[in-house]
Structure 1
Amino acid sequence: MKRIIFSFLIVVAGLSGFSQQHELGIMGGVSYYIGDLNPYGHFMQAKPAAGLMYRYNMNSRMAIRLHALFGSLQAADSVILYNENRNLSFRSPLMEFGAQYELSYYKFKIGHDKDFFTPYLFVGASFFKFNPQGNYKGDWYNLQSLGTEGQGTTAYPDRSPYNLAGFAIPFGVGFKVGIGSSTVLGIEWGMRKTFTDYIDDVSTTYADPTVLMSQNTEVAAALADPSDDSEIDRTGFQRGNSATKDWYSFAGLTLTFKIKDKSDSCPGGSKRRDSFKAKYLRILKNESSIL
């Protein structure tokens, strides 16, 4: 056991031999949604998105990232021809906070003449907030509070109002290149697997419009079934696919700047730090050989 512990400490000390670099910057691009109102069309009806990000480089190939992303999502059946008659649509603000693990294909070091570019993969976890809205006679209404699928009515006791926040699994690919001694420019595309089917307010079957009219509102009934032939009673017919969850994506550019270590700006600071690490490694190796 002691040998394992000392071996682990030697590995950690070896990783710390890499000049630990912190980056802070911005991200900008587009966000888009995949779900019942847009099942396959990547980048369709994409909206601007932007945010802040922080990257901690553990070594030349691995990094941990934190980010805050702000954007919006939207979709409309009028764009998807085979669902045009259903005529559902929505828009939603999007706010996401996440952490990701980044693995570079090549070694990458900021300001290095050789290891200055690499493709990378990333995966992580995020918390996001949304609020789908629908348009009725020129005004926008929050769909969750309307209960368009019968939520909150006595006729559908099994349908509770859905949460406007949830967790997601972000994953994707990117490419980054170092510019000068302290700047990194990247481009990336990533998907978010969510665990909700209500980013678009569409999931299950049509609710009885008379119930919506009497227990919710006229607006709820109108937005639940805005089809051109809404006089047809669709109660119980499929409105969405509850077997699949909604997804969303961010694609765009990242621009980060290295936060310089104080020791980098102090004469001899970097050498003293490297000397200490080398001495620490020798001690660990000696202790390990004794055990």
Structure 2
Amino acid sequence: MIIDNSVVRRNFSFIFLLVLPACVVAQKWEVGTGVGVNQYKGDVMPTYKPLVVRPAANAFVRMNFSRAVSFKAQGMFGGVVGKDKFMKSDPYHQSREYSFNATLMEGSGQIEYNFLNFRTNASRIVDNWTPYVFGGYGATLIDSKALLKTDINPSVFTPYNTNKTEQVMILGVGFKKQWRNQWNWGIEFGARHTTTDFLDNIGYSAGNFTLLLPQGVVPSDPKFQYLLKYQIPGTKVKDMYYYTNFSISYVFYKVHCPTRR
């Protein structure tokens, strides 16, 4: 499958068009970076497995509009993994033995709501920490490498690669605290809901079990008939992945906006 670059450009353009006007009017803004782990949930692993992780890292720019609301533009790079063998109590997954590893490049825009009066003097009480919730939207480029059995020789696993673009809806919770004068640290957990069902290359389209095949490969290829036999029930929910991270950011207090002529 060819990556739809026009979709990616539209999403990233939308994110940065929101960020740039904020730079002009923001009283303070911050830049930061973080490290963490990704987890996957989908057709290969329909049960959330918090210990099945792959490393990830992110960088972001946060615009603080008010004491309650912030906007964050973020880029994340990491991976996810899914293996049928991790579903030990399910004989269908154990028989299929499908597995995949995917590299993710995500760009997103997020709105954060702070519950406390974090780092502002808008009232008598100034809190140096706050929990917050966030939501957003983004696009993810996915380079996936899978191993599957075949009818030709079920004892030999065949590799194949796919590339795709997924749109993601983001929801999560976080906690941030002032560290030093102009430094914050934070912890964040966010779920990414994909808009299609093929993060793991297998899923449902219009209610039918479908394989996402490499470019130029036809569905009648005997290598992929083995997967079609295992239309495991109960996995019609769209694929998801989760990003948990620890971050450090630097706050710029003084931003001088140009005066109007």
The amino acid across from 2:249 in the alignment is T
Do residues 256 (structure 1) and 257 (structure 2) align?
no
The amino acid across from 2:131 in the alignment is P
- In structure 2, relative to structure 1, the CA distance for the partners of 1:53 and 1:110 (3 Å cut) is farther
Q: Say which SS state the counterpart of residue 137 (structure 2) adopts.
A: strand
- In structure 2, relative to structure 1, the CA distance for the partners of 1:65 and 1:106 (3 Å cut) is same
- % identical equivalent positions: 25
Q: What's the counterpart of residue 184 of structure 2?
A: 184
Find the aligned partners of 1:132 and 1:257 in 2 and give their Cα distance.
Answer: 34
Match of 1:119 among 121, 127, 131: 131
Do residues 108 (structure 1) and 118 (structure 2) align?
yes
Do residues 52 (structure 1) and 59 (structure 2) align?
yes
Question: Post-superposition shift, 1:249?
Answer: 0.8
The structure richer in strand per residue is 2
The amino acid across from 2:45 in the alignment is N
Unaligned runs of 5+ in 2: 1-24, 149-155, 211-216, 257-261
Question: Post-superposition shift, 1:241?
Answer: 5.8
Deviations 1:91-146 (A, max 9, x none): 111010001000011110179994100100000111111122113668742146xx
**Pairs within 5 Å for 1:161-180:** 164-180=164-180
Tell me the number of residue pairs that the alignment of Structure 1 and Structure 2 aligns. 213
Question: Post-superposition shift, 1:259?
Answer: 2.3
Deviations 1:161-186 (A, max 9, x none): xxx11211111001000011100100
Q: What's the counterpart of residue 101 of structure 2?
A: 91
The amino acid across from 2:119 in the alignment is K
The structure richer in helix per residue is 1
Contact 2:72–2:109, Cα closer than 8 Å, also in 1 = yes
Find the aligned partners of 1:19 and 1:165 in 2 and give their Cα distance.
Answer: 32
TM, length-normalised to structure 1: 0.65
Find the aligned partners of 1:89 and 1:106 in 2 and give their Cα distance.
Answer: 44
Find the aligned partners of 2:201 and 2:130 in 1 and give their Cα distance.
Answer: 40
TM, length-normalised to structure 2: 0.72
Larger Rg over CA atoms: 1
The amino acid across from 2:166 in the alignment is G
Find the aligned partners of 2:175 and 2:235 in 1 and give their Cα distance.
Answer: 35
Contact 2:27–2:253, Cα closer than 8 Å, also in 1 = no
Cα-Cα RMSD: 3.2
Contact 2:203–2:209, Cα closer than 8 Å, also in 1 = no
Find the aligned partners of 1:126 and 1:143 in 2 and give their Cα distance.
Answer: 20
Contact 1:36–1:240, Cα closer than 8 Å, also in 2 = no
Question: Post-superposition shift, 1:257?
Answer: 0.3
Q: What's the counterpart of residue 245 of structure 1?
A: 238
**Pairs within 5 Å for 1:7-46:** 20-46=27-53
Do residues 135 (structure 1) and 147 (structure 2) align?
yes
The amino acid across from 2:53 in the alignment is A
Q: What's the counterpart of residue 213 of structure 2?
A: none
Find the aligned partners of 1:22 and 1:132 in 2 and give their Cα distance.
Answer: 36
